[in-house]
Structure 1
Amino acid sequence: MNHAIDPGEISQLAGKLRRDVLEPIKDRLIGKDEIVEVLGVALAAGENAFLLGPPGTGKSALINELAGRLHGRAFDYLLTRFTEPSELFGPFDLRRLRDGDLVTNTEGMLPEADFVFLDELLNANSAILNSLLLALNERVFRRGKERVRLPMLMTVGASNRLPEDDALAALFDRFLLRVRCDNVDTDRLSEVLSAGWKREQSDPPTPTLGIEDARRLQASVTQVDLSVMLPAYAKLISRLRTAGMELSDRRAVRLQKVVAASAVTCGRVHATVSDLWIMRYIWDTPDQEELLAAQLASVQAEFEPGRDDAAQTDSVELQQHPMADHDAKSGPDPEQLSRLLDRIASEPHAPASADALSLVAARLNWVQADTAREHLQTRVTELRQTIRPAYEATT
């Protein structure tokens, strides 16, 4: 049983995740904000994530940036059709083998890793499949009489294709969240080139988030109150099933964890309907993205809280996840964001102001109007100068 974690500590851990991990990755990899936010939720939930995209779209760079910011052991491997179990899990210990003991030498291999990246995941063959499925689903490595609990925080898999047979579909199913990784839009190419060249000239990322902090963040997910969100979630699952999407009871139960993780990454101990945004990333094929977005928008509109109490609404939206309104055709409402910045400016010394500002700032990328977006970004920069001294005094 997990011991209770203080809400104040959850807020601090969430702020550290955002400031020291997620936002720096966004600065170094242009146009990958969406993927970074999904990976942040996966990390907080302790769930696996899958990246689908052609070669050269930055999948490995994303994972290297994330792994580089975590204290702990990372393991990455490019799978081929001929990959053997020893390449992932380690060879048999020859010294013990002479004594008749089948013991695996796991030093530096997947069973000892806190963070795992498996590139070209769907090249996995039958020789490694069973061990891999158990490791991904139950965080257990088993070979012969050996049975070892794995320290794995999360695994990220990547591929340029989807599974084509049942065995690989079972492997794909172990990755609860799926997100596409494509080339950045041409109108942002100059930013990509500039950031890429700057990254070539800079040192690799340094660890900023302790493994124990990450484990505390994951432990806090099970303490989130889901009661406000649950009616909308149940309706969404029902509608997706009616629309023909296969969602087992097991998967529906498990998906509550990533919804709770969305709340935790915002420093909250209660989930709201806005946290259902993460359900856009549970597709089996990219063709389902439109279905998920449409059903989610319908359910959110039905269960959206009333706006009679402006102060209460502001309080909720200050802590709304940056991706909650990402799919809106017009993007986030600039006037609403401006009002949220006004509220932060009125309480610059409040303990949560820095975290709230980070959450609002992360939503600016999807404001459609250039003039409004630039004005809001200027306000955020000015507010950071005001808030930073107060934040540094408390850390």
Structure 2
Amino acid sequence: MAELDPHALLVVDRLRNDVIAPLKQRFVGRDEVVDLIALAVVSGEHLFLLGPPGTAKSAVIRGFAERVQGRYFEYLLTRFSEPNELFGPIDLARLREGTVATVTAGMLPEAEFAFLDELFNANSAILNNLLTVLNERRFRRGAEVHRLPLLSLFTASNHLAEDEALNALFDRFLIRCHVDHLPREAMPRLLAAGWELERAEASVAGVSSGDLRGLSRRIFEVDLSGVSGSYADLIWKIRDLGLALSDRRAVKVLKLVAASALLSGRSKATRSDFWVLRYVWDREEQIDPLRSLVGSVLEQAASEDPETARHPLAEPPDRVDGEDLARQLDEVARQLDDAKERPLALLVAARLRDRLAELSDQASWVADDDARHHLIERASVLLNRLG
């Protein structure tokens, strides 16, 4: 398998060891988010995070930017936010001289990493500016044009867009990740790591934002010839799931495939890099079917070429025993039946809800289509019974 040249390999190694690994250690249960931030930066694309507040979304992104000494901008959008709050106010001194200019110091136009919380609160004035930023890395005001040093823009929301006018904005976020609260068993590690996070100061990594920019330019040197046919087949299978993956987005996802190869230390893409397609969903109900489809491709790729250097998120899923899952769902159903005579305590109900969510996640990896759909549907019915 073709490896990268020594300089690029050095950058990748430092990125893994000095940035990705320490962030995974500091932010318990957020390995997936950390890996996707790196993927977004190297591919030059943008990342959307769906999930409730308090799940460390902005903290992980801020930590990534700090470790590579990248200029960072963060803002919480409301319905009343104005473009000046993101892009900077008009320079009044120059305006008196008859020139329209923007004071961009410390604002989004100077950032290499930007995080906008609650994206779908954006009004039309901000929306139009953001589309230009995401598409062209430019900000225009009057006759002035700013070329932005932005590596990636990250955003988060606890819901998906309901206004069709926001769909164009959502479409510009090629990578989508669902982030939820950590399970109960992760709480002790979370508290320990969170306490250390409060005490510790971010250290500087051996890789800079300039190094990442250079690595990003290499994605168009990655050899995609060996996967083009199987990639096209997978795109059609994804569309068969009902996911509206446009031709434009299908081409852009190739940047993610190439970035995965780079982050794995390769200059040639393999089918193991198709893991990135797990993150191109449009609606929450597409997440599990998409994960199952891509998981089967990854499993086959690993069995055919076990020696290939794979990205951590490309590891094929462990095989799931459908019969065992059915037995566990039976047990939950029995507890709910018993609750008709003796109502469940709130704590017990919360634990059952968490357990059903976990069983539903595991069911999405069951290989047999009929069994998978049956188990996911049964878990959903039981969740509805809990209310």
Report if aligned partners of 2:299, 2:317 keep a CA contact under 8 Å in 1. Answer: no
Partner of 1:69: 67
Query: Partners in 2 of 1:190 and 1:92 — Cα distance?
Result: 49
Query: Partners in 1 of 2:94 and 2:34 — Cα distance?
Result: 43
Query: Partners in 1 of 2:117 and 2:244 — Cα distance?
Result: 26
Deviations 1:30-65 (A, max 9, x none): 111111111111111111001111011111221121
Partner AA of 1:124 in structure 2: A
Report if aligned partners of 2:4, 2:266 keep a CA contact under 8 Å in 1. Answer: no
Identity value in percent: 48
Partner of 1:385: none
Give the deviation of 1:322 after TM superposition.
0.9
Counterpart mapping for 1:1-395 below 5 A? 7-206=5-204, 208-300=206-298, 306=304, 313-314=306-307, 316=308, 319-325=309-315, 327-329=317-319
Summarize the Cα distance change of 1:8–1:278 in structure 2 as closer, same or farther, 3 Å threshold.
same
Give the deviation of 1:196 after TM superposition.
0.8
Query: Partners in 1 of 2:121 and 2:317 — Cα distance?
Result: 33
Matched residue SS, 1:56:
coil
Over aligned residue pairs, what C-alpha RMSD do you find? 2.0
Give the deviation of 1:16 after TM superposition.
1.0
TM-score (norm 1): 0.77
Report if aligned partners of 2:50, 2:179 keep a CA contact under 8 Å in 1. Answer: yes
Query: Partners in 2 of 1:198 and 1:301 — Cα distance?
Result: 37
Matched residue SS, 2:312:
coil
Partner AA of 1:50 in structure 2: F
Matched residue SS, 1:206:
coil
Partner AA of 1:287 in structure 2: E
Summarize the Cα distance change of 1:64–1:118 in structure 2 as closer, same or farther, 3 Å threshold.
same
Query: Partners in 2 of 1:199 and 1:242 — Cα distance?
Result: 44
Give the deviation of 1:276 after TM superposition.
0.4
Report if aligned partners of 2:298, 2:316 keep a CA contact under 8 Å in 1. Answer: no
Report if aligned partners of 1:85, 1:128 keep a CA contact under 8 Å in 2. Answer: yes
Query: Partners in 2 of 1:59 and 1:6 — Cα distance?
Result: 31
Report if aligned partners of 2:298, 2:315 keep a CA contact under 8 Å in 1. Answer: no
Partner AA of 2:176 in structure 1: R
Query: Partners in 1 of 2:302 and 2:257 — Cα distance?
Result: 16
Partner of 1:380: none
Which segment drifts farther, 271-280 or 69-78? Answer: 69-78
Report if aligned partners of 2:227, 2:270 keep a CA contact under 8 Å in 1. Answer: yes
Query: Partners in 1 of 2:263 and 2:301 — Cα distance?
Result: 22
How many equivalent residue pairs? Answer: 320
Give the deviation of 1:301 after TM superposition.
5.6
Query: Partners in 1 of 2:203 and 2:63 — Cα distance?
Result: 6
TM-score (norm 2): 0.79
Give the deviation of 1:171 after TM superposition.
1.1
Query: Partners in 1 of 2:304 and 2:112 — Cα distance?
Result: 43
Structure 2, unaligned stretches of length 5 or more?
322-361, 363-387
Query: Partners in 2 of 1:96 and 1:126 — Cα distance?
Result: 27
Query: Partners in 2 of 1:329 and 1:179 — Cα distance?
Result: 23
Query: Partners in 2 of 1:300 and 1:326 — Cα distance?
Result: 5
Give the deviation of 1:160 after TM superposition.
0.9
Give the deviation of 1:302 after TM superposition.
6.1
Query: Partners in 2 of 1:9 and 1:198 — Cα distance?
Result: 33
Deviations 1:155-188 (A, max 9, x none): 1101111111112211111111011111111111
Partner AA of 1:39 in structure 2: I
Deviations 1:72-99 (A, max 9, x none): 3111111111111111111111111112
Report if aligned partners of 1:235, 1:299 keep a CA contact under 8 Å in 2. Answer: no
Give the deviation of 1:305 after TM superposition.
6.9
Report if aligned partners of 1:10, 1:268 keep a CA contact under 8 Å in 2. Answer: no
Partner AA of 2:274 in structure 1: L
Q: Which has the larger radius of gyration?
A: 2
Report if aligned partners of 1:49, 1:157 keep a CA contact under 8 Å in 2. Answer: yes
Give the deviation of 1:197 after TM superposition.
1.1
Shift >3 Å, 4+ stretches = 204-208, 297-307, 326-331
Partner AA of 2:50 in structure 1: L
Give the deviation of 1:146 after TM superposition.
1.5
Query: Partners in 2 of 1:220 and 1:259 — Cα distance?
Result: 13
